[in-house]
Structure formats: structure tokens, C-alpha cells
Amino acid sequence: MIEFIKQPWPWYIAGPLVGLTVPALLILGNKNFGISANLRHACAACLPANIPFFKYDWKKEIWNMFFIVGILIGGVIAFQFLENPNPIIINENLKAELAQYGITAIDGMLPSEIFSWQNLFSLKGFLLMVVGGFMIGFGSRYAGGCTSGHAISGLSNLQLPSLIATCCFFIGGLIMANYILPLILSL
């Protein structure tokens, strides 16, 4: 059993487990699955209550904050104890394309030429990590939720706004990956 847990789970096990999270939350606690709303809850807990956007009973949603803490703890546990023994395999065409942008140290999930403290203070790193992070946070709040909230929870509840948001997420991802990211990486 331990060896099974240490291996990456196939899609036909991991996918249904993620998918069953939504009805479990709805049936057991009448809660919607989503991650991005936690930023609003954290701000409502920390900022003065005279800002209208943060004037609500955030304590009713405290379960979601514990959910995020659980995700973080689970990530740390998985990183420390459930190391994948198999090397990460990256397509040779992708390696060649990334090498054109000066990204050659691809020894893990995050290339150090993009994701490092040193790179954060370059124009490329600032655009990717700071501006990109802000745009993801702003966009998820503007869309009324993140990809997990809309694509997993909203679509399973047959919500039209979630279908529209999910289509926009995918279109934006395709545009970013194929047009904008190559421009940023070539800086």
C-alpha cells in the first residue's frame, strides 16, 4: 500500500477522487468548493471592517481557510515523504523550444531560469511571477472564482457563468502559452 501511495496515481483514480470532492462538500456540509475566495476571507479577517467589500461574516467561511491550510500541509508532506522515484520526462521538442529562450536547466518541475529569487529581480521574472501572479489573483476574483471553483464545482452544478468562465480560462491559457509567454521569455 505504501508503494502505491508513493507512485503518481493514474488519472482514473485521481480524477474521480477530485470529482467526488464536490458532491461530498455539498452533501456533507452544504459547501461549495473553491480556493480563490480565501484571499477575501483573509483580508476581511485582517483589514478594518469599514471597507464595504470586506463587510461580511467571514467566520462562516473559516472552514475554507482550514481547507487551504490542509492543502499546504498535504503538499509539504507529499514533498518530504512521498517522493516520486521516476524522473520527470519532458518532450524533446519542448526542451529544444525552451533552449531557444535560454532555459536549459530542466531538472525538475520548475526551471530555475524562470523560478528563482535571482530571476525575480529581472524584467522577465518580475513579469512572470509578480505581474502574472497579480493578474491570476485579480482575474479569479473578477471572474467570481478560480479554475477549481468554476471548472470543478460550478460545472458540476450546471452553472452557465462557470461554463463561460472555464471557456475563457482555457482560451486565455492557450493565448498565454502560445503567444505571450514566448514574447516574455525572449526578453
Cell of 93: 521538442
Same domain, 114 and 169: yes
pLDDT at 2: 62
Say which residues have a Cβ less than 8 Å from residue 33's Cβ, sequence separation at least 6. Answer: 21, 22, 25, 148, 149, 152, 153
Domain containing 156 equals 90-187
Model confidence pTM above 0.85: no
CA pair distance 135, 144, nearest whole angstrom: 14
Cell of 6: 508513493
Q: How many domains is the chain partitioned into structurally? A: 2
CA pair distance 44, 170, nearest whole angstrom: 30
* Among 114, 93, 96, residue whose Cα is nearest residue 181: 114
Q: What is the pLDDT of residues 122-163, one digit of tens each?
A: 888 888 888 988 888 888 878 888 887 888 878 878 889 999
Instruction: Give the up-direction half-sphere exposure of residue 14: CA atoms within 13 A in the CB hemisphere.
Output: 7
What distances in angstroms separate CA 130 from CA 3, 74, 113, 142, 157, one per listed residue? 38, 25, 15, 18, 33
Same domain, 132 and 179: yes
Cell of 62: 473559516
Same domain, 118 and 33: no
* Among 186, 144, 151, 187, residue whose Cα is nearest residue 169: 151
**Segments of the chain scoring below 50 in pLDDT:** none
* Among 66, 25, 26, residue whose Cα is nearest residue 42: 66
Residues 116-132: b if buried by 16+ CB within 10 A, e if exposed? eeebeeeebbebbbeee
CA pair distance 4, 7, nearest whole angstrom: 5
What distances in angstroms separate CA 165 from CA 28, 63, 140, one per listed residue? 27, 25, 9
pLDDT at 5: 65
pLDDT at 36: 79
Q: Of 83, 105, 136, which marks where a domain is finished?
A: 83
Q: Are 1 and 9 in contact (CB under 8 A)?
A: no
pLDDT at 33: 74
Same domain, 98 and 33: no
Same domain, 109 and 177: yes
Same domain, 121 and 158: yes
